[in-house]
Chain A
């Protein structure tokens, strides 16, 4: 069971249980008790005061003059002195304060649980996004040059080159279609033999090296290897950056 759900349910159950208990055990004081209370309450008021505050029966004798300008806490403390608390609940398990503490605790716990659950709701367990790792067919299906067939679906350009200066052989590399300036998608302009970003004019060579515009570094290459069935496998989860010397990594290039 989900722990958040458990917290919420426990809180609600505790809250309901204490409400039930308070309702069950709340009895009216007997006539003799009530009379005793009325007799003792004014006498017990403010031991230090010169004149005891005389309260009407059933009315809390709050002195507005004495409390003026005070905070609620201070006022509550003074009120506590004037009218002593009496145990008026008949619950055998714990006093009224205990039950109220339990009630607020349970209420707070279940509220916090609900808030946490709501936050968790915003993070789904399943994503409907294109996979990071995919196969794109056999090497002989590609001719030399930049191949755009996977640009929209997977977000890569597959480039077959007769000579790669980082590995000094022929083969494949996969360029991510994300501009290194601010993340737009550049266009491949075959007539000019370059990638050109429409947002701010960054230009990249077919190798991915930046040569014009604001882009600060080359396009990134993705991991490219041969799958067991001989197809080319691209894994966008591991990226290789030229300026960090990562393009020389054996998995950044597929020699064919």
Chain B
């Protein structure tokens, strides 16, 4: 029977289920703060979550102004995450050998459902090169390389180099004519490395009597290709660089980069 005097508001089943869920031991062991209804709790939300703690607790208002940052750093990071994820999926199908590399790439389009995974990886790679350059351009034009941010500028320059190397090493992996000759041309530049390149300035000085220490089979280009021409050694070497070495290094550099942004006072302000 209904009691007309009851004034206790009845919460809906959804709200009651939510309240029960947020009081369970499982929930409270994961989320160790109350609802983010005041500044203190909002800070705790950011500090007690490994993903959110990458973000600063407070942002300056101009930090989210699209016309100031162009969001190019964020977009570069987003594309890197995309590339990591799609690249991992591609590794399930791609084998870096002379026999299989090209046919596996064709198979990624023809034999695998939704053959756009490789295209996503390819276009995101092109886009990341562009966004990284535009990010650098924005940082330069807003003077954000000036002290105390000069260290982070240098970290960024290294990451620009790593991005280009990731693009370069990934270029070879389809193992078609374009890839082989592009890497042949590109790696020929390493012949001209000062001292360490076979044809570079100063290389002829490194010699014992008439015996040259730097020659075609031990110079910088050889170290890059794992051979004297773009062959099986180069394919495997570029694959390992592309999938393991360079992503690990650029990941570490990103951690330093983001950490330094906060230590140096957040995103620089408008002039």
Task: List A residues at the B interface (Cβ < 8 Å).
Answer: 2, 4-5, 62, 64, 67, 69-75, 117-118, 120-126
User: Are B18 and A73 in touch, CB under 8 angstroms?
Assistant: yes
CB distance from B80 to the nearest CB of A (A): 18
* In the complex, B89 has a CB within 8 A of chain A: yes
Sampled A-B contacts (15; CB under 8 Å): A2-B113, A62-B38, A64-B38, A71-B35, A73-B15, A75-B35, A75-B37, A117-B114, A118-B89, A121-B117, A124-B107, A124-B112, A125-B111, A126-B107, A126-B110
Neighbouring B residues of A4 by C-beta, 8 Å: 114
Neighbouring A residues of B113 by C-beta, 8 Å: 2, 117, 120-121, 123-125
Cα(A2)–Cα(B116), bound, Å: 11
Other than the given A2-B113, A118-B89, A125-B113, 9 more pairs (CB < 8 A) read A5-B114, A62-B38, A70-B35, A71-B18, A72-B35, A121-B112, A123-B113, A125-B112, A126-B107
CB distance from A229 to the nearest CB of B (A): 31
Task: List B residues at the A interface (Cβ < 8 Å).
Answer: 15, 18-19, 22, 34-38, 89, 92-93, 107, 110-114, 116-117
> Can you name the residue of chain A whose Cβ is closest to the Cβ of B112?
A124
Cα(A123)–Cα(B93), bound, Å: 11
Cα(A75)–Cα(B111), bound, Å: 53
CB distance from A76 to the nearest CB of B (A): 9
User: Are A122 and B92 in touch, CB under 8 angstroms?
Assistant: yes
Cα(A13)–Cα(B229), bound, Å: 47
Q: Which one of A69, A121, A122 has the greatest number of beta carbons of chain B within 10 Å?
A: A121
User: Are B19 and A5 in touch, CB under 8 angstroms?
Assistant: no
User: Are B37 and A5 in touch, CB under 8 angstroms?
Assistant: no
CB distance from A46 to the nearest CB of B (A): 15
CB distance from B48 to the nearest CB of A (A): 16
Neighbouring A residues of B34 by C-beta, 8 Å: 69
> Can you name the residue of chain A whose Cβ is closest to the Cβ of B89?
A121
Grouping DSSP codes into helix (H, G, I), strand (E, B) and loop, the A interface class, with mixed when no group exceeds half, is helix
User: Are A120 and B114 in touch, CB under 8 angstroms?
Assistant: yes
User: A72 and B114 in contact (CB under 8 A), knowing A118-B89, A121-B89, A126-B107?
Assistant: no
User: Are A72 and B36 in touch, CB under 8 angstroms?
Assistant: yes
Return the contact of B37 from the options A67, A123, A124, A125 (Cβ within 8 A): A67
How many A-B residue pairs have C-beta atoms within 8 angstroms? Tell me: 52
Cα(A126)–Cα(B36), bound, Å: 51
Return the contact of B116 from the options A5, A62, A70, A75 (Cβ within 8 A): A5
Cα(A232)–Cα(B18), bound, Å: 67
Nearest 8 CB-CB pairings of A with B: A126-B111, A72-B35, A75-B37, A120-B113, A64-B38, A117-B114, A67-B37, A124-B112
Return the contact of A124 from the options B15, B35, B111 (Cβ within 8 A): B111
Cα(A5)–Cα(B112), bound, Å: 14
CB distance from A59 to the nearest CB of B (A): 13
> Can you name the residue of chain B whose Cβ is closest to the Cβ of A117?
B114
User: Are A64 and B37 in touch, CB under 8 angstroms?
Assistant: yes
Cα(A5)–Cα(B116), bound, Å: 10
Cα(A246)–Cα(B107), bound, Å: 40
CB distance from A74 to the nearest CB of B (A): 8
Cα(A96)–Cα(B92), bound, Å: 44
Neighbouring B residues of A125 by C-beta, 8 Å: 111-113
Neighbouring B residues of A124 by C-beta, 8 Å: 93, 107, 111-113
Cα(A74)–Cα(B113), bound, Å: 46
Neighbouring B residues of A74 by C-beta, 8 Å: 15
Neighbouring A residues of B19 by C-beta, 8 Å: 71, 73
User: Are A2 and B114 in touch, CB under 8 angstroms?
Assistant: yes
Neighbouring A residues of B22 by C-beta, 8 Å: 71
Neighbouring A residues of B89 by C-beta, 8 Å: 118, 121-122
User: Are B37 and A62 in touch, CB under 8 angstroms?
Assistant: yes
Cα(A136)–Cα(B35), bound, Å: 72
Neighbouring B residues of A70 by C-beta, 8 Å: 35, 37
Neighbouring A residues of B37 by C-beta, 8 Å: 62, 64, 67, 70, 72, 75
> Can you name the residue of chain B whose Cβ is closest to the Cβ of A120?
B113
Cα(A70)–Cα(B36), bound, Å: 10
Cα(A122)–Cα(B112), bound, Å: 8
> Can you name the residue of chain A whose Cβ is closest to the Cβ of B116?
A5
Cα(A117)–Cα(B117), bound, Å: 9
Neighbouring B residues of A72 by C-beta, 8 Å: 35-37
Neighbouring B residues of A126 by C-beta, 8 Å: 107, 110-111
CB distance from A215 to the nearest CB of B (A): 35
